[in-house]
Structures are given as C-alpha cells and as structure tokens.
Amino acid sequence: MRLFEAIVEANHRAVAGDSQAGLHPSEFTSELPVVALTCIDPRLNALFPSVLGLPAEQFIWTRNAGNIITGPLSSTMRSLALACAIKGGQEIALIGHTDCQVAKTTMMQLLERFAALGIERRRLPENLNEFLALFASERQNVVKCADIVRRSPLIGPKVPVHGLIVDIETGKLEWIVNGYETAATVAGGVSSGIPKGEQTLDALAEIGNLALSELKFPETKIGEAAATAQQWVAQAEAAVEKKFPPEPPQPTALPPKLPLPPPIKMKLDFRKVKVDFRKLRRR
C-alpha cells in the first residue's frame, strides 16, 4: 500500500468512528515528507496535518487564496519546487475544501470589496479574470492545478501529484486525482507533453551526436534571474545550428520563355483612301 492509499483509508475509518484508525509514518519513510498546497481559510488550521495522519515535521504546508496555481512557472510552482528540491518533499498534495469563499465570490462582488477598501478599479490589473484566476468549482480547480503541476518542468516525473478535497465540517478526504497513476503514465513516456530529461538528451544525440560540452550550464544561486530555462533552450538551439548550419537558399528556377506570336503584316492601299480637303480647316 502506498502512502496516500493508507492516508485516505485511515481518514475514512476515523471519520466513520474507528478510534483505532491511524497512520504509521515509520512505514512510509521513503515517501515523506509531503508537500501540501491548501487555501488560506483559517478553518483549515484545525484540520492539518491531522486529517492526513502525519506529524508536523513530515508536512510542508504552502497556502494561497483558493489553492490556485496560475501556470507551470508561477510563484506557487516555485514554492512547490523548492519544497521538493530543498526540503526533500517526496509527494505533492493539492487540497481544496468545501464551502470555499473564493469559489463563491463573483468578480462584481470582489470589485465592490476592493472599492470598500479604497482600491480604485484603474489601479488593478486590466485582466482581472486572468490575474485572480477565480473559479466556480473547487473540484475543477483541483483537477486543473494537478495537471499544471504534473506538466511543470520544475517538478520531476518521479514525484506523485495528488488532488484531494477535504470536507470543512467533517475532515473527510476525497481523493480525486491519483498521483501514482499519473506518475506511472509520465514515467512510461505516454503523458503530458513534457519529455523526460534522458529522452530529451537522447533525441538531441540522434540529431548528430551533439556535444554537450558546447552547452554552458550556468552555476547560479536560487533567486538569480540570469539563468532561465529559456536561455538553456536558446543555447541548445545555437549548438545544433552550429553543427548543422542551414543550407543556402537555392535560386528559384525561372519559368521557360514562351515563344512570341508571329508579327502581324498589314498592307495599306493608299489608292483606296479618299480625303476631302475641303473639310479641313486651318488652326
């Protein structure tokens, strides 16, 4: 049994009234700690990490309004990625909750509340829908965010990404995205459109034994903006172009010349031309 299989089973037993239900973290040392993203709702403070059956030291908690992820390279993704890379997070859980106020708030209501705080509309981003990423269904939001994290280049394919909903009243967990299944699909090379690192290098090698020594991998500290994934891709493209320069454009062949039509011969018989000079006037 995997970690979240045991977590969900123990949670359901506890909610059903089994006083003996519980998790034994010592049996899952290779799958801990867990990195979790939840909403900022203060009602969650009393639920985590106890609803997962985890000790506090094995629970890396990140939060934002609505447990929203706007993109694979967003600031929330940065936190999840560093939680795995620095704090040793082994699995990621995106946990929404019932009765979410972010899901219940419309854009007009939000603008009214901003105005009540003295914030004018002209000071807010032009595209508020994109900036705030409001949603109407917590379930849909969790599924969407799990897909974004799974496709993010910041998260390795070996890290399971789970999606769950917790009942704010009972603490019962609903497991709606099984990260073990999606992780197996990604590891098998079927999946989400982001190839594994080994596959990417193999593909480059097949182009023509690309020398990796030509690529300069920057050694920078976290937070420095000099080295980005886009720069690495640009270096790779430049190295490939250096080894395989584009062929010069071939001159476009002109269409064959069509033969000119034969000249038209006309004969004018002046004897048949009559001019009445009396009708001509001097100017």
Residue 266 included in any domain: no
Residue 256 within a domain? no
Least confident of 8-17, 122-131, 184-193, 198-207: 198-207
First to last CA, the chain: 116
User: Do 40 and 121 lie in a common domain?
Assistant: yes
Whether residues 48 and 173 fall in one domain? yes
Mean pLDDT of the chain: 80
Inform me whether the pLDDT recorded for 16 exceeds 60.
Answer: yes
Q: How many domains does the chain have?
A: 2
Q: How many helices and strands, by DSSP H and E, does the chain display?
A: 9, 5
Q: Please check whether residues 33 and 144 belong to one and the same domain.
A: yes
**187-203 residue pLDDT tens:** 555 444 444 444 444 44
Amino acid identity at 72: P
Beta strands in 64-218 (DSSP E): 91-97, 161-166, 173-177
In a domain? residue 183: yes
Q: Produce one character per residue of 178-215: b if its CB has 16 or more CB atoms within 10 Å, e if not.
A: bbeebbeebeeeebeebebeeeeeeebeeeeebeeeee
User: Quick one: pLDDT at residue 266?
Assistant: 60
Residues 137 and 156 in one domain: yes
Same domain, 98 and 204: no
Regarding whether 210 and 89 lie in a shared domain, the answer is no
The predicted pLDDT at position 179 comes to 96
- 108 located within any domain: yes
Same domain? 19 vs 90: yes
For tokens 């002209």, the residue is 122
Domain of residue 214 covers 197-242
Q: What is the mean pLDDT of residues 133-148?
A: 91
Question: What pLDDT shows up at residue 130?
Answer: 80
Question: Do the domain assignments include residue 268?
Answer: no
Same domain, 226 and 165: no
Using CA atoms, how far apart are residues 129 and 67, in angstroms rounded to an integer? 16
Render pLDDT for 54-68 as a digit per residue (tens, 0 to 9): 999 999 999 999 999
Residue 258 maps to a domain? no
Q: Which residues contact 107 (CB under 8 A, 6 or more apart)?
A: 128, 129, 132, 134
Element (DSSP H or E) covering residue 70 = none
